[in-house]
Chain A
Amino acid sequence: MAQMKYYYELTISSSPHVHAPITTQTIMRDVLIALAPAMVGSVVFFGARALTVTLVSVLACVFFEWAYCRLMHKHCKVYDLSAVVTGVLLAFVCPVTIPYWTIIFGAAFAILLVKMLFGGLGRNIVNPALAGRAFMFSWPVLMSTWVKVGFENAAPVIGGADVVTAATPMGALHALTLPETSIMASFWGNVGGCIGETSAALLLVGFIYLLLRKVITARIPVAFIGTVAVLTFLFPMGNPRIDWMLYHLFSGGLMLGAIFMATDYVTSPLTHLGQIVYGIGCGALTVLIRYFGGYPEGVSYAILCMNCCVVLLDRIGRPVKFGAPKKEAAK
C-alpha cells in the first residue's frame, strides 16, 4: 500500500487543465476571515468566554481529526483548515454558557462519526457542525440556557453556574408573541442566543466578503432567507406582519445557517437549479419547525434534512452536453 499512500495528490482528468491558486486551505481561510466579525461581536456581547469556548471547540475538532488519522493510518489533512471551520461553526451554534466538556463531546461526534467515518472531507453526507449541535441536544438544558447580553452579565471563563438568564427572541416567537427586544437589537446582535448567531449585521458583512472573494454564490442564501421571508410574511402569527417577518429574519440562527452552513460545498447541490430548490427547502422546513416543532429554532434541523436530499437534488438541472440530442429526440 506504500505507493498508494499519496494517491490523493494525483488528479486524473481530461484536458484542458487550468491552474488556479485555489485550494481547500485558501477557501477555508476565507470562510474563517468571514466569520471573524461575528466572533468579535460575540466577545463584545457575551464576554471572553465566547472566545474560549470557540478555542476549545476548534482544538477539539483538530485533535479528533488528527487522532483519527493517526489511529487509522491515514494521511492527516488537518492543515486544510476544514476542521477549524467545523470547530468555529460548532461553537457558534452553542450558548456561551455551554460547559467545555459538552462541546468536546459535540466536536467528537461531529468529526469522528459524521465526518471521518464517512471518509473525511468531501464524503460526509451532512454538515458536521450541525450534526454535532443536534447531538449536543443530549443535554437540552445546557443547550437552552441563555445569558443576558452585556459585559456586566458576561459568563465567567471558568465555572459559570450563576448567570443571569434571559428569554431569547426565538423563545418569544415560538410562543407566538413578538419579542420584547427591538428589531434593531436582533439586527445588531444585542440579544440572547447562541455565540455566533445573534448579529445579523456582522454575519452579513462576512457574506459580502465571501461573495466578493467568490467563495460562495448568493443562490442558496438568497433562496433560503427569501423563502423564510415570504412564508413568515404570508402566514404571520403576530402583528404587525412586517415586524413578525423581520424578527424571524434577524433572530436565531437563520443568517449563520443560510450563509455559512447551507453553503457548505460538500453538503449542498452542485447544479444551479438544485441549489435554488435546496435553499427553498431549507427555508420552508425552517419556518415549519419554528412554527410547529418542539424546539424554538429550526434552522439546524432544516439544513440537516435538506443535506440528506442533496444526492437527489444533484440530479435536477444538469446542463445538457453540447451537441447532445434533446430528450424528446432521444426517445
Chain B
Amino acid sequence: MNFKKQFKEGLLTKNPVTVQLLGMCSTLAITTSLFNGIGMGLAVTVITICSNVLISALRKVIPSQVRIAAYITIIAGFVTMVDLFLQAYIPALAASLGVFIPLIVVNCMVLGRAEGFASKRGILESAVDGLCQGIGYTVALVVVCVIRELLGNGTFGGGLLGPGGAGIQIIPQPFPAMQIVMPVGGFLVLGFVLAGSDKLMKYLEKKSKKKEAAK
C-alpha cells in the first residue's frame, strides 16, 4: 500500500474531475459558492469512503453478475442516509444543494471507485482510496467554486464568511459578470480549470524528469 502515491493520484494525476471527467453534473451545477463546493465535496467523500469500505468487505460475497445492482443499492443507501442527516442537521446546505444530494447516487465517481478499485482491493486500501479520490474531487470543486464566485458574484467564501454569510466582497458591484455563476459559466470555468490542471501536470512531469536526469 502506498498512501503517498494514492494521494497524488487522487489529487492530481487521476483526479476524478480534471482527469477522469467524472461527476460533471454536480461540478457544473452547484459550484457557485465556497459553501456549496465544500459541502458537496465532503458529502461525496464520506459516501465514497463508506461505499468503498462496504463493497470491499463484501467483494467475495457479491456475485459478479449482479455486482452493479448491489453496488448501486449500497451507494444509494449511503446517499439517502447523508441526505437525511443533512436535511435534519445542516438544513442550509440541504436547501442550497437541493436535488444534487440525491443525485450523488448517479455520480460516476462513486460507482467508478467501487467497480474499479474497491471490488478488487482490501478494506483499508479502499478506504484510503475513497478518501484520496474524495479529496481530489473536493479540491477540484472548490477551485471551480472560488473562480466562479469571484468572477460572477465578486465575493469569496459565500455561505461561510462575511456579513450574514454572503461572502467577502472583493470585486465591487456592478462589475461581477453574472453569467459566470449561470450554467454557461460553469462550462467556461471548468474548461479553463481542466486546461490549467493539464498544464500543471505537464510542468510537474518535466520537473521530475529533470530531477532524474540530474541524478
Q: Note all chain B residues with C-beta closer than 8 A to A113.
A: 188
Q: Note all chain A residues with C-beta closer than 8 A to B179.
A: 134-135, 137-138
Report how far A113 CA is from B175 CA in the complex, Å: 18
Report how far A142 CA is from B179 CA in the complex, Å: 14
Report how far A138 CA is from B178 CA in the complex, Å: 4
Q: Is residue B145 contacting chain A, with contact meaning CB distance below 8 A?
A: no
Q: Note all chain A residues with C-beta closer than 8 A to B184.
A: 134
Q: Choose among A101, A113, A139, A140 the residue with the greatest number of B CB atoms under 10 Å from its CB.
A: A139
The distance from the CB of A128 to the nearest CB of chain B, in whole angstroms, is 15
- CB-CB contacts below 8 Å: A131-184 with B: 134-135, 137-140, 142
The distance from the CB of A160 to the nearest CB of chain B, in whole angstroms, is 14
**Are B178 and A140 interface neighbours, CB within 8 A?**
yes
**Are B188 and A139 interface neighbours, CB within 8 A?**
no
Report how far A198 CA is from B176 CA in the complex, Å: 29
Q: Is residue A105 contacting chain B, with contact meaning CB distance below 8 A?
A: yes
Q: Is residue B180 contacting chain A, with contact meaning CB distance below 8 A?
A: yes
**Are A135 and B177 interface neighbours, CB within 8 A?**
yes
**B180's contact among A134, A138, A140, A142, by CB below 8 Å, is which?**
A138
**Are B188 and A142 interface neighbours, CB within 8 A?**
no
Q: Is residue B174 contacting chain A, with contact meaning CB distance below 8 A?
A: yes
Q: Note all chain B residues with C-beta closer than 8 A to A142.
A: 174
Q: Note all chain B residues with C-beta closer than 8 A to A105.
A: 177
Q: Note all chain A residues with C-beta closer than 8 A to B175.
A: 101
Report how far A113 CA is from B180 CA in the complex, Å: 13
The distance from the CB of A103 to the nearest CB of chain B, in whole angstroms, is 13
Report how far A105 CA is from B188 CA in the complex, Å: 15
Q: Note all chain A residues with C-beta closer than 8 A to B176.
A: 138
Interface size (B, Cβ < 8 Å)? 10
The distance from the CB of B155 to the nearest CB of chain A, in whole angstroms, is 15
Interface of chain B, helix or strand or loop or mixed?
Answer: helix
Residue pairs across A and B with CB atoms within 8 Å: the count is 20
Report how far A138 CA is from B153 CA in the complex, Å: 10
Q: Note all chain A residues with C-beta closer than 8 A to B152.
A: 138
- CB-CB contacts below 8 Å: B148-204 with A: 152, 174-180, 184, 188
Q: Note all chain A residues with C-beta closer than 8 A to B174.
A: 139, 142
**Are B177 and A138 interface neighbours, CB within 8 A?**
yes
The distance from the CB of A190 to the nearest CB of chain B, in whole angstroms, is 30
The distance from the CB of A175 to the nearest CB of chain B, in whole angstroms, is 24
The distance from the CB of B175 to the nearest CB of chain A, in whole angstroms, is 8
Q: A98-125: contact bitstring with B at CB < 8 Å (1 yes, 0 no)? A: 0001000100000001000000000000
Q: Note all chain B residues with C-beta closer than 8 A to A140.
A: 178
The distance from the CB of A186 to the nearest CB of chain B, in whole angstroms, is 30
Q: Note all chain B residues with C-beta closer than 8 A to A137.
A: 178-179
Of all chain B residues, the one with the shortest Cβ separation from A138 is B177
The distance from the CB of B47 to the nearest CB of chain A, in whole angstroms, is 35
Q: B40-63: contact bitstring with A at CB < 8 Å (1 yes, 0 no)? A: 000000000000000000000000
The distance from the CB of A18 to the nearest CB of chain B, in whole angstroms, is 41
Q: A248-288: contact bitstring with B at CB < 8 Å (1 yes, 0 no)? A: 00000000000000000000000000000000000000000
The distance from the CB of B172 to the nearest CB of chain A, in whole angstroms, is 12
The distance from the CB of A159 to the nearest CB of chain B, in whole angstroms, is 15
Report how far A307 CA is from B178 CA in the complex, Å: 24
Q: Choose among A105, A134, A137, A138 the residue with the greatest number of B CB atoms under 10 Å from its CB.
A: A138
Report how far A140 CA is from B182 CA in the complex, Å: 13
Report how far A99 CA is from B75 CA in the complex, Å: 51
Report how far A321 CA is from B57 CA in the complex, Å: 64
The distance from the CB of A115 to the nearest CB of chain B, in whole angstroms, is 15
Q: Note all chain A residues with C-beta closer than 8 A to B178.
A: 137-140
Q: Note all chain B residues with C-beta closer than 8 A to A135.
A: 177, 179
Report how far A105 CA is from B152 CA in the complex, Å: 13
Q: Choose among A101, A105, A113, A135 the residue with the greatest number of B CB atoms under 10 Å from its CB.
A: A135
A contacts, CB < 8 Å to B: 101, 105, 113, 134-135, 137-140, 142
B contacts, CB < 8 Å to A: 152, 174-180, 184, 188
Top 6 closest pairs, chain A to chain B, by CB:
A138-B177, A138-B179, A138-B178, A135-B179, A139-B174, A137-B179
Cross-chain pairs A/B with CB under 8 angstroms, 20 sampled: A101-B175, A105-B177, A113-B188, A134-B179, A134-B184, A135-B177, A135-B179, A137-B178, A137-B179, A138-B152, A138-B176, A138-B177, A138-B178, A138-B179, A138-B180, A139-B174, A139-B177, A139-B178, A140-B178, A142-B174
Beyond the given A134-B184, A137-B178, A139-B177, please list 10 additional residue pairs across the A-B interface where CB-CB is below 8 A: A105-B177, A113-B188, A134-B179, A137-B179, A138-B152, A138-B176, A138-B177, A138-B178, A139-B174, A140-B178
